[in-house]
Structures are given as C-alpha cells and as structure tokens.
Chains A and B, each alone.
Chain A
Amino acid sequence: MPTLDMAACSLRELNATLQQQTAGTNDAEWEVLNPRGSHAVAVGLDGPLTVSVRGSTGYYCAGMNKEATILIEGSAGPGVAENMMSGKVVIDGDASQYAGATGRGGTLVVKGNASSRCGISMKGIDIIVHGNVGHMSAFMAQSGNLVVCGDAGDALGDSLYEARLFVKGAVKSLGADCIEKEMRPEHLELLAELLERGEVKDARPEDFRRFGSARQLYNFNIDNIDAY
C-alpha cells in the first residue's frame, strides 16, 4: 500500500498524487500518515481508490469526492465530505459542523456524533450517523437520506425540501415545515439498506421515525416528484 506521510510531503503533493489515481489505477489502496488536523486532506479525488487517513483531520477533508472511499481513523473538522458527488467517506470518530453539506451523491458514515448543520443543503447524498446530530441538521435539505441513530438537536430539517430524515432517538425540535411522516414499507426497505451501508449493527428500521417536508414553504408540485 503506497503511503503519503504529511510530515514529509506538502498538502498539494498529497492531493495531486491522490487526484492522479483515476479509473484503472494500479494503486487502489493508499494510506495517509500524520494528518494532525490538517485542512483539505484528500479532496477532489476522482477514481475508485481507497484512502485510509490515520488520524484526525481539520477543515474540509474529503471534499468534492467522486468514487473514492476515504476512511478517517479519527475525528473530522468542519465541512467533511462537503459537496461529495459519489463514493464513500467513513469517519471513525466525530464530525464537526456541516458534515456532508451540499453533497450530491455517495455515502457519508459518521461512527461518532456529528455536530450542527449536518447535511445542510444536501442534494442526494446519504448520511448515516451512529450517534447524535446537532442543531439545524438537514437545513434546506433537498434530496437524499439522513439517518440518525442517536438524537437530533434543535430545528431538525428546517425549510426542508424532499430529503428523507430518519431518527432513532429523540428530536429536540423540528424546524419550519418539517413534520413527522408515516413509515411505510418502502421506507423500511430503504432504511434497512442504508443501515447496512452505514455499518450500523445495533438498530432495526422499525426503531426509527421518519421526518419530511410538509411542503408548505416551497412550491412543491407533485408532477416534479421524480426530479428528487
């Protein structure tokens, strides 16, 4: 497994090297040593490689990810996996504010807690949090799924569009236009798949409640439902 040691190489070298590993690369497994809270580690990746980051990261780790799997063996600072297009990001520890913000695809797994604004403006990403999420999570979330195995903070799903929110624990308060919705069989099926993809072993789909948009704040038109 090729190794990039941030004690010895610059951030630009690290990202340039990883960004060059596109489809068909011979080096599909990488490890990053000594991240020590550095910003923008492993951003803009564009190929089916797996990067193991051995430690905690600072702002914007794994941003704009396409196809790559990025495993953070520690906690992540603000904006982790921001605007992810596809691929998977797994954080062993906690994630700071706005994890998975604006993500259009792929899977973000937080094995600890995520703090405020998790999944803000998400546009198709699936986010699975094993612990709690902070206030204003899924603010203006447009599509995709947010699964919270712990509790959710204040104003969950404020100004929500068509993202689906599943919470197992307590919800401190719902944001404007976010309501609890019936859990139908198709949601249980979807949630089972999300829990499996999110490596959640100790929860069943039946344990969760579903929240979504009341569709009173934005111009929802049923004819456009396929667009979400």
Chain B
Amino acid sequence: MCGIVGLFLKDEALKPQLGDLLADMLITMTDRGPDSAGIAVYSDADGAVSKITIQSDRPDEDFSEIEIALIEAAGGAASLSRNDTHAVITAPSDKMPLVEAHLAASHPALRVMSRGDVIEIYKEVGLPEQVVDRFGIRSMHGTHGIGHTRMATESAVTTMGAHPFSTATDECLVHNGSLSNHNSLRRRLVREGMKFETENDTEVGAAYMTHRMQNGANLGEALEDCLSALDGFYTFVVGTKRGFGVLRDPIACKPAVLAETDRYVAFGSEYRALVNLPGILDARVWEPEPATVYFWEH
C-alpha cells in the first residue's frame, strides 16, 4: 500500500499551521504503511542562504564535531541546527560547496536527506506518529509539504529507503506503488551521470524527473514524460521549490484524492486524510484522472 499526503498552501495565513495540518494528515494514513515515514517541508526562501538536511546514526558525536568544523570551513557563516537524528546546516549559498566537501571528507557515513534553499526532509523507520513527534513536525511552518508512510516492497526498510526521495535541490518525490523497469532506467540514468544512493524504485522515478528538469523540462513536462518512461504502478506526489504535482499511472489502481479551495490544494491517498482540513466540506474534492498531470506553482 503506502500512504501519501500533500498540502500546497495558497493562503499565506495558513503557513504557521503547515506542519500541524500535515502531521494530522499523515498520522491518519498510518495503517497504509507501518514501516517508515517521512515528511518534506518547504519554507520561505531566505535570500542567499541554502540548507542541507543530514542524518546520522550517532548524532551526538557527529553533529558536535561538525558544528566545530563548520566554523573552520565557513568562517562562522554556517550554522547547524540539531533535530534528533537529523540536523539542518544553513550557510550562505556560495559557502555550501565548502560545507559539502568537508562533510564528504570527514563524515562519509552521514546521509544527506535534502539540499536546497527551502526544503527540509525528515524521515526514519517507524510509525508516522513517532516520526512526527521526534522531529517536532507540528511546529514547522512552510508554504507546502509532502508526507509518506511506507509499506516496503521494492527495497529494504531503512532510513534511506523511506520517502520522500530527493535527487536534486529543492525537489522531492513520494510514491505509492512499484516500478517494474527501475533497474534498466537506473542504468540508463547512471550513464547520463545521475547518482543513486539506494536500490529503491522510487529513487529512480525521482532521478528521472530530476534528469528531465535539468534538461529544460518544467514540472508538468517532467511528469508527462514519466508516462512513457516508467512502467509499473504509481501514484506520485512531487514537490519543487515553488511547485506541487500529482501523477497516476494509466491503470490508476493506487488511490488518490485531491481537494482544492481558495486557501490550499491537498492530496490524500484517501479522503480520510483530508477531513480535518479547514473548509474541507466546501472544497472541490475529486479523484485525479489516470495518466493526467496535475501541478500547481506559487
């Protein structure tokens, strides 16, 4: 199965509630996937600052060391904000390559959850409620966000196997389903220079979209291209810096419900996930059509 939720805000007044609303939506989907859960939160851009979200199995040691080393690497311009097993490093965009080089050299076991100007991804093995609580998702603000609770089929139950998958700055993808041509497509993308961190099928879908967007496609075009490139079952929800997209395969057996009001666009694997949203009873609620691209941008 797997459960997906997504929320794309149109009304700025809802930004302080983004984490809280998404947390409720995701917890409602718990029985669609008990293995692991994750959430991507997009916040407002802050000028010339970028961030990278990292994860460690020994956060106490790693994050303390990194905090000290960051002062040397970026001359105090970078900062690290710890959050359980994850930490967000914030640095001026031009200093970020230095920070990344340092991390790769001194802490090769660290896992990078996301990179970008606005995205932060938090994901771990466990139930949505545990993941929401350990990272304090409810207090997070933002413009849009995507959550996933996983029932693994295609690869191991690990932190890196959890969704969302991020394969480029400020991009992420979550998936309900299974891709059947991911191995051949992964080989093709590797030849094109894409890098992979897992054996997971969804990472290939994410990397494929990244590859398309790096070659000039916009979000809608990249989603459209998935229809011919990907074989298998998928309901995707995709986030970019300013965008939010939904795509279902032509068979469309993986469920999906969209709701739209003048305040937000919301996605749920089931209607249950949407029932606590403000004004849902007056929202336009519909099942997205098979093989049809839906996307919204700020």
Q: Choose one: A36, A115, A116; the contact of B275 (CB below 8 Å).
A: A36
In the bound complex, do residue A77 and residue B270 qualify as a contact, i.e. CB atoms below 8 Å apart? yes
B290 in the interface (beta carbon within 8 A): yes
A196 to B208, CA, bound (A): 51
In the docked arrangement, what's the CA distance between A226 and B287, Å?
A: 39
Judge whether B272 and A134 touch: CB under 8 Å.
no
Asked whether B285 is an interface residue with its Cβ less than 8 Å from the other chain, the reply is yes
Are B252 and A77 closer than 8 Å at their CB atoms? no
Q: Which residues of A contact B (CB under 8 A)?
A: 36-38, 56, 58-59, 75, 77-78, 94, 96-97, 115-116, 134-135
Whether the Cβ atoms of B272 and A37 lie closer than 8 Å is yes
**Is B196 part of the contact surface with A, judged by Cβ < 8 Å?**
no
A116 and B290 form a contact (CB under 8 A): yes
Is B296 an interface residue, CB under 8 A from the partner?
no
A-contact bits for B250-287, CB 8 A (1 contact / 0 none): 11110100000000000000111111000000000111
Chain A proximity of B249: nearest CB distance (Å): 11
Find out whether the CB atom of A134 lies under 8 angstroms from the CB atom of B275. Answer: no
Q: Inside 8 A of A96's CB, which chain B residues have their CB?
A: 255, 287
- CB-based contact B287/A38 at 8 Å: no
> Could you give 5 example pairs across A and B, Cβ below 8 Å?
A36-B272, A58-B271, A59-B270, A75-B271, A96-B287
**CB neighbours of B289 from chain A (8 A):** 134
Chain A interface main SS type: loop
Q: Are A56 and B271 in contact (CB under 8 A)?
A: yes
Q: Are A115 and B270 in contact (CB under 8 A)?
A: no
Chain A residue with minimal CB distance to B256? A96
Kindly report which residue of chain A lies nearest to residue B286, judged by CB atoms.
A94
Give 9 nearest A-B pairs by CB, closest first. A37-B272, A37-B271, A36-B275, A115-B287, A56-B271, A58-B272, A58-B270, A116-B252, A37-B275
How far is it, in angstroms, between the C-alpha of A94 and the C-alpha of B273 when the chains are bound? 17
Residues of chain B lying within 8 A (CB to CB) of residue A58: 270-272
* B252:A97 contact, CB within 8 angstroms: yes
Q: Which residues of A contact B275 (CB under 8 A)?
A: 36-37
Chain B, range 227-269, C-beta contacts under 8 Å to A: 250-253, 255
CA distance A101 to B68 in the complex (A): 63
Interface centre among B251, B252, B253, B271 (most CB of A within 10 A): B271
CA distance A94 to B256 in the complex (A): 13
Residues of B close to A77: CB separation below 8 A: 255, 270-271
A36 to B275, CA, bound (A): 6
What are the residues of chain B within 8 A of A37 when measuring CB–CB? Answer: 270-275
Across-interface contacts of A94 in B (CB, < 8 A): 286-287
List 4 other contacts, CB 8 Å, given A37-B274, A37-B275, A134-B290.
A37-B271, A97-B252, A116-B251, A116-B252
Once A96-B287, A134-B290, A135-B290 are accepted as A-B contacts, the answer to whether A38 and B253 lie under 8 Å apart by CB is no
CB distance from B65 to the nearest CB of A (A): 47
Q: Judging by beta carbons under 8 Å apart, are A78 and B271 in contact?
A: no
Please give, as numbers and ranges, the residues of chain A lying within 8 Å of B271 by CB-CB distance. Answer: 37, 56, 58, 75, 77
Residues in A with CB closer than 8 Å to B274 are 37
Closest residue of chain A to B31 (Cβ to Cβ) is A39
Q: In the assembly, what is the distance between CA of A78 and CA of B32, in Å?
A: 14
- How many whole Å from A174's CB to the nearest CB in chain B? 17
What chain B residues lie within 8 Å of A115 (beta carbons)? 252, 287
Please tell me if the beta carbons of A78 and B255 are within 8 angstroms of each other in the complex.
yes
A38 in contact with B272 given A94-B287, A134-B290 (CB within 8 Å):
yes
Q: A97 to B270, alpha carbons, bound, how many Å?
A: 12
Distance from A14 Cβ to chain B, minimum over Cβ atoms (Å) = 16
Residues of A within 8 A of B251 (CB): 116
Complex: how many Å from CA A77 to CA B250? 19
Task: Give chain A residues whose Cβ lies under 8 Å from the Cβ of B273.
Answer: 37
Q: How far is the CA of A59 from the CA of B286 in the complex (A)?
A: 15
Q: Report the minimum CB–CB distance from A67 to chain B (whole Å).
A: 27
Whether B253 pairs with A97 at a CB distance below 8 angstroms is: yes
> A134: which B residues are within 8 A, CB to CB?
252, 289-290
Contacts A36-B272, A58-B271 given; does A75 touch B290 at CB 8 Å: no
CA distance in complex: A133, B40 (Å): 35
A1 to B74, CA, bound (A): 71
**Residue pair A75, B272 in contact (C-beta under 8 Å):** no
Point out the residues of chain A lying under 8 angstroms from B250, CB to CB.
Answer: 135
> What's the Cα separation between A135 and B289 when bound, in Å?
10
Inter-chain CA distance A41–B73, complex, in Å, is: 60
Which residues of B are found within 8 Å of A38, using beta-carbon distances? 272
